[in-house]
Each structure stands twice: as structure tokens, then as C-alpha cells.
């Protein structure tokens, strides 16, 4: 891992579709609005995009903590954008300020933490614990 500067930023866009709505994804009794799990997803992806260029081959940064407030309901058909800014690091840990917009207003805010890991080491540990990992696809 190369040094990650405070202030590094990333973003991630998503067009809100029926499958992203709380009433579809979680429970049909909920209103047809953008779900909180997908809000967290766009914020996490924005954070990963903020640091991707500083990772070495064979490294990734996995989410280890999320503290998010979902502020505004967003309907299907809108574009939402998660944004992230590095606020600091501590060894392999990276701390972020995260927020999301729907084009008109801020729909979510929070903080996020990721840890830089060796992808090979994660697979090795999973194999030791659970046996041969299934193949993707």
C-alpha cells in the first residue's frame, strides 16, 4: 500500500431502479423509496474508489465499519451519487467522511472505515476455515 493522502476523494453513481427500492429489496410494506442498504453500497464503493489508485497488486480495502444516516427518500428513476473523502489513516485502516446526493439534495451522510488487506491472505484464511472456496460464475 502506498501512502494514502488525507483529502483523497472518490465517487460512485447509481441509477435507482425498482430492484433498489426498500419495498422490493427488503419488505413490500415499506414505501417505494431507495433502500438504506443500497445507500451504504454507493458510499462504500465511493470510498473504495477514493483509495483504489494507492493499493498495490493483490491488495484491496474491505469495509470494517459504517455509520450512516439516511436523510431523504428518493424514488426510482433518480440518479444517486455516493461520495467519500479520506479523513485519515492509521496503519492499514483508512477513515472516510461519506455522503450521498440525488441531484437535488443530500440524501445521506456518515463515516466509514476500511482496512487494506491481501486478497490472497483472505482466501487462504477462508480455505483453512471452510475448505476449498467455491468458484465464481
Q: What is the pLDDT of residues 11-24, one digit of tens each?
A: 999 999 999 999 99
What pLDDT is stored for residue 134 in this prediction? 64
Active-site residue, 36 included:
yes
How many structural domains is the chain composed of?
1
112: in domain: yes
- Per-residue confidence at 136, pLDDT binned at 50, 70, 90? low
* Chain centroid to CA 110: 12
104: in domain: yes
| Residue pLDDT, tens place only, 48-69 | 999 999 999 999 999 999 999 9
CATH number at residue 78: 3.10.129.10
Q: Are residues 102 and 74 in contact, defined by beta-carbon separation less than 8 angstroms? A: yes
53: in domain: yes
4: in domain: no
24: in domain: yes
| Catalytic residue of the set 20, 59, 70, 113 | 70
Mean pLDDT, the chain, integer: 94
136: in domain: no
Q: Which long-range contacts (CB under 8 A, 24 or more apart) does 29-37 make?
A: 31/73, 32/75, 32/76, 33/73, 33/74, 33/75, 34/73, 34/74, 34/75, 34/76, 34/78, 34/80, 34/102, 34/107, 36/68, 36/70
2: in domain: no
Active-site residue, 112 included:
no
Cα separation, 56 vs 2, whole angstroms? 7
Which H helix or E strand runs over 12? Answer: strand 9-15
3: in domain: no
| Residue pLDDT, tens place only, 75-112 | 999 999 999 999 999 999 999 999 999 988 999 999 99
What pLDDT is stored for residue 98 in this prediction? 98
Determine the structural domain holding residue 113 and report its residue range.
9-130
Residues with Cβ within 8 Å of 5's Cβ and at least 6 positions away in sequence, in order, are 86
Active-site residue, 127 included:
no
End-to-end alpha-carbon separation of the chain, Å? 29
Amino acid at each position: 500500500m502506498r501512502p494514502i493522502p488525507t483529502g483523497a476523494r472518490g465517487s460512485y453513481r447509481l441509477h435507482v431502479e425498482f430492484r433498489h427500492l426498500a419495498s422490493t429489496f427488503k419488505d413490500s410494506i415499506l414505501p417505494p423509496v431507495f433502500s438504506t442498504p443500497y445507500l451504504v453500497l454507493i458510499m462504500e464503493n465511493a470510498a473504495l474508489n477514493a483509495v483504489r489508485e494507492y493499493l498495490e497488486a493483490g491488495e484491496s480495502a474491505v469495509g470494517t465499519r459504517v455509520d450512516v444516516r439516511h436523510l431523504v427518500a428518493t424514488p426510482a428513476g433518480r440518479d444517486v451519487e455516493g461520495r467519500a473523502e479520506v479523513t485519515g489513516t492509521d496503519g492499514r485502516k483508512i477513515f472516510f467522511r461519506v455522503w450521498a446526493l440525488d441531484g437535488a439534495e443530500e440524501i445521506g451522510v456518515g463515516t466509514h472505515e476500511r482496512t487494506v488487506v491481501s486478497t490472497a491472505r483472505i482466501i487462504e484464511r477462508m480455505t483453512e476455515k471452510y475448505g476449498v472456496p467455491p468458484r465464481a460464475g
